[in-house]
Amino acid sequence: HPDDPFGQWINPIEKHVASTTLGDDLAWENSTRITGDVPEFVRGLQQRDGADIAVCGSVTLVRSLLFAGVLDELQLMVHPAIAGSGRRLFEPTDPPTRLRLVDSTVTSKGNVVSTYAPRDA
């Protein structure tokens, strides 16, 4: 929609989709499906000139990239609500992973936005 500022911003941007269920013919403008090893693909993106790379909407993908050592930062938002169930970002079987706090902000609605970076052992 022409009056949608988010659509005007996101539609022209190059988007890469990590999916095992979608085909290669993606309807969203400037979108391509990643084939092959996703962490290696992201490492290749990191070598290119350009802006930041963001991952949206996939706990599985974030976990994959985090434990492959590909993420430069991990931004977590904690909402002041308890759901009690659902997918967890961290599981008891995950490898020990050390992070350092880079930034933390509390929003006017009480959300805590914390940014972490990998920390050397």
Query: In sequence order, what are the beta bridge partners of 114?
Result: 76, 104
- Was domain 54-118 assigned CATH 3.40.640.10? no
pTM of the model: 0.76
* pLDDT per residue as tens, the chain (121 positions): 667 888 888 888 888 888 877 777 777 788 888 888 999 999 988 888 877 888 877 888 899 999 999 989 999 988 888 887 878 888 899 998 899 999 999 999 999 999 999 887 5
Q: Which residues, in sequence order, are CB contacts of 35 under 8 Å at separation 6+?
A: 24
The answer to whether residues 101 and 76 touch, using CB atoms and an 8 Å cutoff, is no
